[in-house]
Amino acid sequence: MELRQIKYFIEVAKREHVTDAAHALHVAQSAVSRQIFNLEAELGVDLFIREGRTVKLTPIGRIFLEHMEQAIHVIDDATQVIEEYTDPERGTIHIGFPTSMATYILPTAISAFRERYPHVKFQLHQGSYNELKEAVVKGIVNMALLGPVPMNEKKLHGTILFTEKIVALLPANHPKAIASTVYLNDLREDGFVLFPEGFVLRDIIINGCQQIGFQPKISFEGEDIDAIKGLVSAGLGISLVPEITLVDCLPRATVKKQIIEPSISRTVGVIIPKERQLLPTERLFYTFLKEFFTRLEEFQY
């Protein structure tokens, strides 16, 4: 089995089309077909169901793809380790993040890190909570920022960097807009603007409401934090959002209010794989993150 065959196989599996894969690989279509045929012959199984030049993975092909993707990530990591060995301050960091950390947490950390290590490069991977956990397990990235931090995962190690409050974001004409704080129960008749199902922030908010005996009425859903803030700004509902997402900019025609009874919060931190070591440059950043947010919390208090 050759590395070239594996790369051709992954590209064809991803595109489900031999000609498209050949174009992406900048090789002849016949070369891709020949290498896939040789790979199947060596393995003694059919990896694809063929319909002309359109293909779909067989069940065993899907299993093989999962293992080969992990193998390629291991090979890429090994190559990068060699490149970074002599100078980890010039390597590349692959890190995942959710939308709620895109505007303040990640940019602040990267900016501070690059003041110390200006030649380090970053490759960023945005995704949902579960997508990012899977990406770290599979080796697509070796670390990801998440909130809340998963602490009991079999293949992941979680480190809490800080805990942040979830606050109410209200339209400026809301009856509670002039109050210094709001009880969560005061919002039970409002329409909520939340993330769609499958987003962990949605679950945190719904669980908080259920704690005091009501199911929030969802008026609108937004795919990212900016969409949610925009919908609240337009007066289409209220929302509960991580306080740090409002640090740089409070949307026009909105107010931020601390929530009491119950107070809602989430842990924020970083996950890394238990079964793989971080690359040298990634170890630098991982250590930096823990030190940076410890100092930040001490400064705030």
Contact 224, 99 (CB under 8 A): yes
Q: Which domains does the chain have, with CATH numbers?
A: 3-78 (1.10.10.10), 86-157+268-300 (3.40.190.10), 163-266 (3.40.190.290)
Identify the pLDDT of residue 148: 94
Q: Number of helices (H) and strands (E) in the chain: give both, helices first.
A: 9, 12
**How many Cβ atoms are within 10 Å of 31's Cβ, its own excluded?**
13
Contact 175, 194 (CB under 8 A): no
Closest CA relative to residue 29, chosen from 2, 52, 62, 49: 52
Angle between helices 3-15 and 29-43 (to 10 degrees): 110
Confidence of residue 53 (pLDDT cuts 50, 70, 90): low
Q: Write the pLDDT tens digit of every residue in 260-285.
A: 888 899 999 999 999 888 888 999 99
Q: What are phi and psi of 289, to 5 degrees?
A: -55, -45
Query: Which one-letter DSSP state was computed for residue 17?
Result: B
Closest CA relative to residue 272, chosen from 77, 118, 80, 107: 77
Q: Write the pLDDT tens digit of every residue in 152-187.
A: 899 999 999 999 999 999 999 999 999 989 999 999
- For residue 59, whether the previous peptide bond is cis, meaning omega lies within 30 degrees of 0, is no
The pair of structure tokens assigned to 64 is: 């093989």
Contact 246, 169 (CB under 8 A): yes
